[in-house]
Structure 1
Amino acid sequence: MDQRHYKQVKTQRGFTYSYYFSAPAAGKPFLLFSHGFPSASYLWLKQVAFFQPLGYGLIVPDNLGYGGTDKPTDPSLYLGSGLVQDYVDILDAEKIDKIIAIGHDWGAILLSRALNHQAERIAAAAFCAVGYCPSTVPLRDLFGSEVFAYQRFFIHPDGAPLMEKNIDAMINVLWGERPELVKETMSVNGATRACIESNRRTPLPTWMTEDDAEMIRTSLLTGGLTAPLCWYRSVNEQAIIDEDAAVPPAACEIHVPMLFVAFKQDFIARPEFWTKTHKTYPKGPLTLKEVESDHWGVMSHAKELNEILLEWIEGLEV
């Protein structure tokens, strides 16, 4: 994305955030796009290219630990109300009252916490691949499934240096040639470590260009992986667990319009994981859509996803 559109702000917690900014045309709302692991703001480059010419205002942060944003290595600083406040500080710096928020992966979980702690700043919320995760559902419970076996390696002390040393093997694990490979490399205990330690190389998916891979490679090696992996380590931080447990049940209800776009071939963030939550917590309009993609549909199926988002946004009364 055009580096001339990036700005920086220091939040109340003392962190410098980098974010892509584009002002809206008259009458158009601001869209905030929140990325997950191991992406940075570039994850949304195809959404930026689509929505900016249509006149929508854009805020696309490098989340804490990524890109041009600060990279603390204390996992207690990740997630929770503090991270939400960082977003609010960005909005306040730009004098933005409310945004339409779109999240993917950990960005969707951050969006969930924003709805729990600062719902008044969100006019509508869209979740891609990962659905709404209220504070009343502990992340440790969600991640306890064997589907998430890879996370045992991610939070191990030697996880970050091994992934940095064999960065191309890591890219191959996360962006497999076929969606089914994810089950073999990430949902079997010890398989992720074995693939990365052996520096196993496989073809990239057909939609990913070498430029895409280089952008991912450069972003991760520039800042390292210790900070981004704090998002996973934070799940076991008692302060965050206690804060989530203290959120009143009423604050977990969603009263703004919500969209969930399931990625049908995602074998990690399976669409059915969110069924019960989406039947329980949304109290306003709920729209459910599907895309025939793996976890990276934001990039691989951008045209289809953009059309879904645009139709939903244009139908909002905000």
Structure 2
Amino acid sequence: MTQANASECQAHLHPQPTMDPTRYKQLKTQRGFNYSYYWSPPAPGKPVIFFAHGFPAGSFLWRKQVPFFKPLGYGLLVPDFLGYGATDKPTDPKVYIGSGHAHDVVDILDAEGIEKVIAIGHDWGIYPVSRLITYDPQRVAACAFLGGGYGPPATKSTDRASRHEAIKKTFGYDAFAYMRFFVQPDAPAIIEEHIDSFISLVYPEKLQLWKDHLCVDGGARKWIESNSLSPLPSYMTPEEKEHLKKALLTGGITASLCWYRAAVEKVTAEDDAQISPEAVEVKQPLLFVAFTGDILALPIIGDTTVHAQYAKGPVTRKEIGGDHWGAESHAEELNDILLEWIQGLDS
């Protein structure tokens, strides 16, 4: 990093975690869905960073990255995906397919005249980034995966139950037990009725809460139905929690849970079946940031997927000590890692 870049970085070590609502735009994609997305054009010579969120934060997840990168001149494209924010909230799992997500993103890129992006995904946001690479690799200059690794195509023969049992046997707990609750027909109503309990479970002060409830069959349902609460984590203010709560309840949570239903019901596998073997390789420069405290997106799984099988271009691996929400709890450290990596792409 040059002295100028270092000074530039230091000036933005403590950004205010905000997402200017006036910078959100609306677009109807060719699939007929209305998307809401944050858009800040790049300064001359600067690339566009595409941030892809997961469940359940929406674009609000990136509130500590946007004010860091925007003053540095980077273009920023931060959509709310289907089921979130002011974007449409369809409740048919069949529309939550990788090819559909990729085509929707390309429609936004075309509308804004964006040729290429540096694509960064976290949690479920890894899925649309991975499929953008699969279907439109020429639109991705480089990619970064936070927590989990690149998502290769699912297959119809994938036995999720056996896979979960293997993970349970290896690590000593059922890392995906909560999914079995999230896909139940009554889950949305239960979550909405006990939204504070849901938020306190998903964003725990102490990660042991996940081991005791998210990773225990029936544990998530029991915690939420009993209206249990835990203190807010240090990285989330009461105001941020209220923002998240309002966003989740506006239009309900049924649509955002369809991301899980599409996977469990093998809708994504049916869609992924059309992907050719050649298209699954990642030839772009790739950054994998492991969150060493994460007990769901286990770093070893990301390492195995990214390094051993699919990454054919240059790979950079970094790690931070945060849990699943490292983008929020360790924002300064993550921002520095991302900035250094992005600056190094031109070297």
User: Would you say same fold, with TM above 0.5?
Assistant: yes
**Partner AA of 1:285 in structure 2:** P
| 2:247 counterpart of 1:219 | yes
- How many angstroms does 1:141 deviate by? 4.8
Give the CA deviation at 1:138.
6.7
> Equivalences for 1:140-179 in 2 at 5 Å?
141=159, 144-145=163-164, 146-179=174-207
Superposition map of 1:1-318 within 5 A: 1-135=19-153, 141=159, 144-145=163-164, 146-278=174-306, 279-317=308-346
Report the TM-score, using the length of structure 2 for normalisation.
Answer: 0.89
Give CA-to-partner distance per residue, 1:125-180, whole Å, 9 cap, x none.
Answer: 00011211111567955674131000011000010010000001001111111122
Displacement after TM superposition at 1:70 (Å): 0.3
Moved more, 5-14 or 245-254: 245-254
Letter aligned with residue 9 of structure 1: L
Distance 1:142 1:292, change over 3 A: farther
Alpha-carbon distance, 1:275 to partner? 2.2
Instruction: Report the CA distance between 1:243 and its aligned residue.
Output: 2.4
Is contact 1:293–1:301 with CA below 8 Å preserved after alignment? yes
Which amino acid is the alignment partner of residue 324 of structure 2? H
Q: Is the 8 A contact 1:262 1:290 kept in 2?
A: yes
Higher radius of gyration, 1 or 2: 2
Contact conserved, 1:79 with 1:234, CA < 8 A, in 2? yes
Structure 1 CA distance, aligned partners of 2:89 and 2:157? Answer: 22
1:272/1:238 CA distance change after superposition, 3 Å: closer
Q: Equivalents in 1 of 2:57, 2:157: separation in Å?
A: 20
Q: Residues of 2 paired with 1:226 and 1:215: CA distance?
A: 18
CA contact (8 A) 1:153 1:192 kept: yes
**Structure 1 unaligned runs (5+)?**
none
Contact 2:118/2:141 (<8 A) preserved = yes
AA in 2 matched with 1:158: D
Deviates more, 1:137-146 or 1:101-110: 137-146
Supply the AA of the counterpart residue of 1:229: L
Q: Distance in 2 between matches of 1:281 and 1:43?
A: 27
CA contact (8 A) 2:93 2:267 kept: no
Q: RMSD across aligned C-alpha pairs, in angstroms?
A: 1.5
In 2: Cα distance, 1:286 partner to 1:180 partner:
32
Q: Secondary structure at the match of 2:250?
A: helix
Q: More displaced, 111-120 or 291-300? A: 111-120
Pick closer, same or farther for the CA change 1:148–1:198 going to 2, 3 Å: same
SS of the residue 1:223 aligns to: coil
Aligned equivalents of 1:23, 1:142: Cα separation in 2: 41
Greater displacement, 252-261 / 174-183: 174-183
**Matches of 1:225 and 1:202, distance apart in 2:** 21
Change (3 A) 1:138 1:188: farther
Cα distance change of structure 1 residues 2 and 160 upon mapping to structure 2, 3 Å threshold: same
Cα separation, 1, equivalents of 2:158 and 2:250: 30
The answer on whether the counterparts of 1:140 and 1:235 sit within 8 Å (CA) in structure 2 is no
Query: Which sections of structure 2, spanning at least 5 residues, go unmatched?
Result: 1-18, 165-173
Q: Structure 2 vs 1, CA of residues 137 and 102 (structure 1 numbering), >3 Å: closer, same or farther?
A: farther
Report if aligned partners of 2:35, 2:79 keep a CA contact under 8 Å in 1: yes
Cα offset, 1:211, TM superposition: 1.2
Q: Aligned AA for 1:105?
A: D
Q: Is the 8 A contact 1:99 1:122 kept in 2?
A: yes
Q: Are the counterparts in 2 of residues 136 and 249 from structure 1 also a CA contact under 8 Å?
A: no
Secondary structure of the residue aligned to 1:178 is: coil
What are the superposed Cα offsets for residues 71-112 of structure 1, whole Å, 9 maximum, x if unpaired? 000001003201110000000000111100000000012211
